[in-house]
Structure 1
Amino acid sequence: MLEHLTTEARNPASEHLDSLTPLELVRLINEEDAKCTEAVADEAEHIAKAIEVIAHRLSHGGRLIYIGAGTSGRLGLLDAAECPPTFRSDPSQVVGIIAGGPSAMLKAVEGAEDSTTLAAEDLQKLNLSNSDVLVGIATSGRTPYVIGGMDYARSVGAYTIGLACNRESLLKSRADISIIPVVGPEVLSGSTRMKAGTATKMVLNMLTTGAMVQMGKTYGNLMVDMNASNVKLLERAKRIVSALTELASEEAAKLLAACQGEVKTAITSHRLGVTAEEARVILHATNGHLRAALESMGRLNGHAANGHTTVNGHASNGHSSNGSH
């Protein structure tokens, strides 16, 4: 029952919430929010294991699918939506589903989270398979919609990860991995959009960022596989290319344009003195890992006796044909 859930309990520190000054209220909420970091840290090993599984599945054609209701569903949708611009991932690779459908993102759909069958229908529409990973997000750990989705996922052989904020939850019995940051009672009793929502977002950030890093979407801490879909991101892409090629901003922009906006391709092309097409071949051979491409080209493609490099059957004289040098 709800009254036994930690997230539904009254927080002794906020029993006089309505008597606090704005500054006192801010300080109290901030103190409580600080507990989220420790709660998430306690789940580090489980989160790391989940990252390994997600990266493996995504690398082999599977998908990461979030499912949740209310705040949990909205956070899953948000994290999924941010992957394509950040990591140039296909929009179908990381997907969010919310109880009640897309309209529930902005307005609550009454009763949707109480259905144990709607989730299965939603997952069937996505053709959920045993190649996919389903992350069921439910602060309480008992939301019927999420439980139903997890049961369906297990029936088709999908890998299941349960994310909740209450130690003893039904989700654990449905999950291959359970991630349970226990943040304690909310400042506003039962308002799990607060600490529970914050901890949930922290975990989701780790899952997708960690998986994408494992898949070679970064070089150091730079977004080398980003999708420059607006002015801000284009400027960031130019800065990254400039930083890793030592080209002036204007030349970096020309190189990036010649490579269809592909940051990793542009960097590989310039650093190895090959065409954009050849750079893509090299990156493909290293599963998209830029560092491996830059460090292992000789082993992967061989060197001609005259010092020229052979790429995909073509000799390169160390100068890019895209005019970037």
Structure 2
Amino acid sequence: MAEFIKVTEQSSLYDNLEQMSVTELLTNLNNEDQKVAIAVRESIPVMAALVEKIVERMEKGGRVFYIGAGTSGRLGVLDASELPPTYGVSPDLVIGLIAGGDKALRSAVESAEDDAHKAWNELKEFDVNELDTLIGIAASGTTPYVIGGLRDARENGLLTGSITCNPNSPVAAEAEYAMEAVVGPEFVTGSTRMKSGTAQK
């Protein structure tokens, strides 16, 4: 198996941020953000294959669920909530779940992401079945809530996909279709709400 490297936690490529001018900070941030499109492009073959499988299932009545924690979970909920007004999709077809529930949309819920069985228990409340798809989102690729949810979903016949920003992660190992948008170290070390969050969206 290929080596799991936590690129998202590596040191920033930039030193002494506090000594940069505002223009330098914004220019460097923008330079880093340009790496996102390239990283996402690398995932297009896997993304396309997953979308084709999702369409097959949705045409038979299947749904799509996103799970994640923190920023990753918020992005899943955001995407699910924007589909009905943008595309006229029923709000029952794409559903976002975040570790810690709706409270976690506005503030951190400590340790909510550490329960590997919580996501599946939440999914069961929706009477999920083999026509449904679960997409786990985790920048680090190590979130127990997402790992456990994907594992349980796969064992119960759901189609599984993942979106991560580190190569060969534990989350990706649990998904049939693993999209890995490796954007490199964050401008602010470890701040995955930056490039990683943009790539996940």
How far residue 172 of structure 1 moved from its aligned partner, in angstroms, is 2.3
Give the 4+ runs in structure 1 shifted more than 3 A.
Answer: none
Alignment RMSD: 1.2
- Of structures 1 and 2, the one with the larger relative CO (CA 8 A, separation 6+) is 2
How far residue 110 of structure 1 moved from its aligned partner, in angstroms, is 0.4
State the partner residue of 1:24.
24
Q: Helix, strand or coil: the match of 2:161?
A: strand
1:155 and 1:92 mapped to 2: Cα distance?
A: 23
State the partner residue of 2:87.
87
State the partner residue of 1:174.
174
How far residue 37 of structure 1 moved from its aligned partner, in angstroms, is 0.5
Q: Which amino acid aligns with 1:114?
A: D
2:172 and 2:60 mapped to 1: Cα distance?
A: 26
1:8 and 1:21 mapped to 2: Cα distance?
A: 25
How far residue 52 of structure 1 moved from its aligned partner, in angstroms, is 0.8
Instruction: Verify the 8 A CA contact 1:166 1:182 in the aligned structure 2.
Output: yes
State the partner residue of 1:106.
106
Q: Which amino acid aligns with 2:177?
A: I
State the partner residue of 1:136.
136
2:155 and 2:178 mapped to 1: Cα distance?
A: 18
Q: Which amino acid aligns with 1:29?
A: L
Q: Which amino acid aligns with 2:154?
A: R
Instruction: Verify the 8 A CA contact 1:119 1:146 in the aligned structure 2.
Output: yes
Q: Deviations over 1:215-256 (max 9, x none)?
A: xxxxxxxxxxxxxxxxxxxxxxxxxxxxxxxxxxxxxxxxxx
State the partner residue of 2:6.
5
Contiguous gaps of at least 5 residues in structure 2? none
Q: Which amino acid aligns with 1:131?
A: L
1:182 and 1:5 mapped to 2: Cα distance?
A: 10
Instruction: Verify the 8 A CA contact 1:128 1:156 in the aligned structure 2.
Output: no
1:185 and 1:106 mapped to 2: Cα distance?
A: 26
2:34 and 2:173 mapped to 1: Cα distance?
A: 29
Q: Helix, strand or coil: the match of 2:36?
A: helix
State the partner residue of 1:191.
191
Q: Helix, strand or coil: the match of 1:82?
A: helix
Q: Which amino acid aligns with 2:9?
A: E
TM-score by length of 2: 0.96
State the partner residue of 2:155.
155
TM-score by length of 1: 0.60
More strand by share: 2
2:122 and 2:175 mapped to 1: Cα distance?
A: 19
State the partner residue of 1:33.
33
2:37 and 2:88 mapped to 1: Cα distance?
A: 29
Q: Helix, strand or coil: the match of 1:178?
A: strand
State the partner residue of 2:120.
120
Instruction: Verify the 8 A CA contact 1:137 1:163 in the aligned structure 2.
Output: yes
Larger radius of gyration: 1
Q: Helix, strand or coil: the match of 1:129?
A: coil
1:167 and 1:173 mapped to 2: Cα distance?
A: 10
2:181 and 2:138 mapped to 1: Cα distance?
A: 12
Q: How many residues align?
A: 198
State the partner residue of 1:56.
56
2:50 and 2:154 mapped to 1: Cα distance?
A: 16
State the partner residue of 1:278.
none
More helix by share: 1
Contiguous gaps of at least 5 residues in structure 1? 202-325
How far residue 86 of structure 1 moved from its aligned partner, in angstroms, is 1.3
Q: Deviations over 1:200-226 (max 9, x none)?
A: 00xxxxxxxxxxxxxxxxxxxxxxxxx
Q: Helix, strand or coil: the match of 1:80?
A: helix
